[in-house]
Amino acid sequence: MKWKLFLLLIPLCLSGLEQKGSLQWKELNQRCKLVLKKRGSIIIIDSRNGYIKGIINESVAIKKSAAPGSVFKIVTGIAALRKDKRNRFVKVYCDDRYYIIGKGIRNYRIHFNRLEAEVGQYYRCSKYGGHKRIGFLSALKRSCNYYFFNLGDKIGYEAFYNQVLRLGFGQKVFSTLKEEIAGEIKKEKLRTRQLLSYIGDGYGIQTTPLQMAHLVYFLANNGEKQIITLKRNGKKHISRRIVSESNYGPIIKIIKRGLIKKVSTSTDRIYQKQFISSFAGKTGTSGAMNSLKTSGWFIGYGPIENPKVAFVVFLSEGTGRKALALAEKIFMGKNISKTYK
């Protein structure tokens, strides 16, 4: 019965987008805890002013880090376009297997974004048989590992790594928030691990839900707004800027064309006031190389044209698809039949 009460309260929570009070967001925070239990986190930001309106499972949001999985293909894409905007025109033929130069290297194959040991000199794409001929935007939307292995090789690991640091990964979002961890960004020397970094997997890149929330707020506003604010225990925490440069707008607009888009078909005026009618975002599923367990991500913003909300759904144990499904239930008013445990 608890999840039914949660469903009834969602309209009140989301209608708070247009109100100055924070009571509705606090209620949403409490009800989402019933859905997520302790194995995930949701962060909701008012994308118009940068105020964090809700953090569900705060200890997970600021103290836990995980590989971001395919969400990080956004960062690889930004790095490629920053080096040369013509990289958006690059097309490749994805035949499933991306071969690695060298002999005697113990590699891994990628199956549903989960890493399993295999003898061979290649990484596999996320789709068996490959995506065939594919371009930048389609590769981002369909999450083609092969394409981003190739794109990373094209721009070079140094350009990728420098862009990761430039976007603030490996740093705390709030310097005044003592409990927050900075995640971890390692400069990989082995080519096999560098390739995994391009798709956000392996041990070299560990990000927190709070860092990903900062990134999606940056995306929602085309790089024009970078500062987010957290009110906690009577104290206001102001984030750092993500980047010092101000010319990310055109690049971000290209990236956003390759994101997953969900649009409601409802024409009910009451529904349209209670929920967001559309959102765009990216899924990610990551798994440690010595474990069969995976973490699921979905970062998004909505409505697509004039964003009011930027959000992150993180599942400590799950997949990107499950995180996306949960986002649809919360923000687009779909029926909730069961909780995430």
- pLDDT for res 209: 97
State the residue for tokens 């995306």. 219
β-bridge partners, 184: 206
Q: Which of 91, 105, 95 is nearest to 125 (CA)?
A: 95
The Cα–Cα gap between 41 and 326 comes to 11
- pLDDT for res 244: 78
Give the helix/strand (H/E) hosting 184. strand 184-185
Rama region for 78: left / alpha / beta (φ>0; ψ in -120 to 50; rest): alpha
Cα distances (Å, whole numbers) of residue 1 to 42, 55, 253, 306: 22, 23, 43, 35
Q: CATH 3.40.710.10: which residues of the chain?
A: 2-68+176-331
0.75 exceeded by pTM? yes
Secondary structure (3-state) at 151: helix
End-to-end CA distance of the chain: 15
Q: Which fold has domain 2-68+176-331?
A: Beta-lactamase (3.40.710)
- pLDDT for res 18: 36
**DSSP type of residue 112:** T
Low-confidence spans in the chain with pLDDT less than 50? 1-23, 102-119, 267-274, 288-290, 336-341
- pLDDT for res 113: 38
Question: Does the CA dihedral 134-313-60-287 come out positive or negative?
Answer: negative
